[in-house]
Amino acid sequence: MSKPTNPRREFIKKSSIVSLGFLALSRCTMSSENNEKAKGLVELIKDPNGYLDLPNGFSYKVISKSGDKMSDGFFVPGRPDGMGAFAGANGRVILVRNHENSPGNSSDSPFGLQNELIDQIDADLVYDLGNKQKPALGGTSTLIYNEESQEVEKEYLSLAGTNRNCAGGVTPWNSWLTCEENVSLANDELEKDHGYVFEVPALADGPVQPQPIKAMGRFYHEAVAVDPRTGIVYETEDRPDGLIYRYIPNVKGELLKGGKLQALAIKAQPKLDTRNWDDKTVQVRQNLEVEWIDMNDVESLKDDLRYRGFESGAARFARGEGIWFGDGELFFACTNGGPEKYGQVFRYQPSVVEGTEAEKDQPGTLELYAESEDKTVLHMCDNLTIAPWGDVILCEDNSQSNHIRGINKEGELYNFARNVSSRSEFAGLTFSPSGKTLFVNIQVNGDTLAITGPWETLYGG
C-alpha cells in the first residue's frame, strides 16, 4: 500500500480494511501462538528516559500535565481519560479531554487543593457545586494545539461539575459527548443526581451550560459512538453485567430534544450471555442477528436499567468500554470478556434500515471478532480507535503492564507503545484530523501526550 497523501481522507475510503483485519484475526482466538507470529512486526525501542517505549523513529511529547496552570487561570484537572480531536481554525487541532475525577479528589481539582478558585467560575456553569464543599470534579478541558510547532496555544475548562467523566465520543456535528461513569444521587454533599451524558461543542471557548441528556439513560456510562448516516448514538456500560444501548434521537443531531433508548438483544436467544466466562456461549466469527428492546423509565434512580433490560431479553456484556464507528460498522471492547477475562472485541454492522420498523426483516448483525486467551497478547482492552490507514488501535487498562496495541489488515496484532513509567492505563487515544499525531493520556500520571513518527511503516507505505 502506498503512503496516503491525506491519511484522514484515505481513511474514509479505506476504513473497510478494519473489517478485513478483524476477519483475519477472528480465524483464531488471540493466543501466544498469534503473538509469536506478530512479534517481528513492530519492535519497541527502550526509552532512555524510562517513560514510554515506542517503535523506531517515533517520539512523544508531554503536552499537558495535571496541576499546571491553564490559560483561564484554573489548574489542569487530573486523571485525563477519553478525548476527541477536531479541526480548528488555521490548521489547529481542538482536543476535548475528559477527567475521571470524583468529589473529594482535591489533588486533581481544577479549583485548587482547598477549592480556593471555586468562586472564579460562574456557579450557573457548574453542574454540581457540592455546596462549594465537595464539588464534582469531573468534566472536560479543551486544548488548542498547533500541530506544526507541537505546542499547546490555549487550555481551559469546557465542562464543570460533572462526576467521573470516563470516555465519550465525537459527533458528526462537531461536538464531544462526555459520559459520567457514576450514578451517585443527590445527598448531603451532592446537589444533583449523576449518571448522564453531556454535550460539549468543539468550538466552545469556555465552560458550557451543563445540560444532562437524560433521555439517553441514567447508568454507568463509558463511551458512545454516532452513526453519521442515521444519527443514532450507541452506548456502552462499564459493568461486569452491562448492556449495549442505542439512542434514536427525535431530531438527528439534537439529542436534547428527546428520543428512544433501546438495548441490544440477540434474535431467538433472549438473555444471551456474551461474556464466555463459564461456557463458550458465543463463538468467534459467529454471526448473530440483532433486535433492539425498548427501555422504559430510562431516568430511574435505582440504577436498574441493565437488570430490567436483561430480564426483557437483552444480551449481557463484560464491561463494555471503548467504542468507535468505522465505515458502516461499529467496534466495541469488552474489557473483562472471555474465559480468562482478558478481553473481547465485538463488531456490529447496523441494518441498512437501522432504527426503523423494517429492520425486523433486515436486522443488524453482531460478531465476536476477537477474544484474548493470553494477556501478553492483549490484556483488558479499554478505549479504542481506528487509525487513518485502517488499523484498530487499542488501549490497555490492567494495573500491570499496559500497552497500546494495533491490529493490522492481515489480522496481526502488534505492540505500538508500552508504559514503563507507571502501571497506569492508557486512555483517550485519538488521531488528529491530519492523521499526523496520535494523542493519548496516561491517566494516573496526569499526562497528555502527542506521538508522531513514520506512520507509514505500520502499514507498509
| 173 pLDDT more than 80 | yes
User: The pTM is what?
Assistant: 0.93
Q: What percent of the chain is predicted at pLDDT more than 70?
A: 91
Q: Domain ranges for the chain, please list them.
A: 1-65+379-461
To which residue does cell 478505549 refer?
Answer: 383
| pLDDT score of 369 | 85
| pLDDT score of 200 | 98
Strands of the sheet with 244-249, listed across from one edge: 221-226, 233-237, 244-249, 259-266, 287-294, 365-371, 344-349, 330-334, 320-325
Q: What number of other Cβ atoms are within 10 A of residue 225's Cβ?
A: 25
Is pLDDT larger for residue 337 or for residue 411? 337
Pairing of strands 221-226, 233-237: antiparallel
> How far is the C-alpha of 441 from the C-alpha of 430, rounded, in Å?
10
The DSSP symbol for 346 reads E
Nearest partner of 70 among 176, 207, 201, judged by Cα = 207
Nearest partner of 255 among 228, 223, 233, judged by Cα = 233
Coil vs helix vs strand at 284: strand
| 3 pLDDT more than 50 | no
DSSP sequence for 374-438: -TTT--SEEEEEE-TTS-EEEEE--SSS-EEEEE-TTS-EEEEEEE-S-SPPEEEEEE-TTSS-E
> How far is the C-alpha of 144 from the C-alpha of 167, rounded, in Å?
20
| pLDDT score of 18 | 31
All three cell numbers of 68: 499546571
> How far is the C-alpha of 199 from the C-alpha of 272, rounded, in Å?
32
HSE of 354, CA atoms in CB hemisphere, 13 A: 27
For the ranges 9-23, 25-39, 60-74, 199-213, the lowest mean pLDDT is seen at 9-23
User: 369 with 343: CB under 8 angstroms?
Assistant: no
> How far is the C-alpha of 252 from the C-alpha of 230, rounded, in Å?
7
| 39 pLDDT more than 60 | no
> How far is the C-alpha of 379 from the C-alpha of 134, rounded, in Å?
35
Nearest partner of 431 among 453, 399, 461, 459, judged by Cα = 453
Q: Is the dihedral of CA 146, 148, 151, 153 positive or negative?
A: negative
All three cell numbers of 151: 505546542
Q: How confident is the model at residue 31 (pLDDT cuts 50, 70, 90)?
A: low
| 32 pLDDT more than 70 | no
Which amino acid is located at 128 in the chain? D
| pLDDT score of 326 | 86
Coil vs helix vs strand at 175: strand
150 phi-psi bin (left φ>0, alpha ψ -120 to 50, beta other): left
Q: How far is CA 81 from the centre of its chain?
A: 8
All three cell numbers of 119: 468562586
Which amino acid is located at 397 in the chain? D
Distances (CA, A) of 334 to 237, 363, 381, 461: 10, 22, 7, 31
The DSSP symbol for 304 reads -
Nearest partner of 460 among 369, 405, 391, judged by Cα = 391
All three cell numbers of 386: 481506528
Averaged pLDDT of the chain: 91
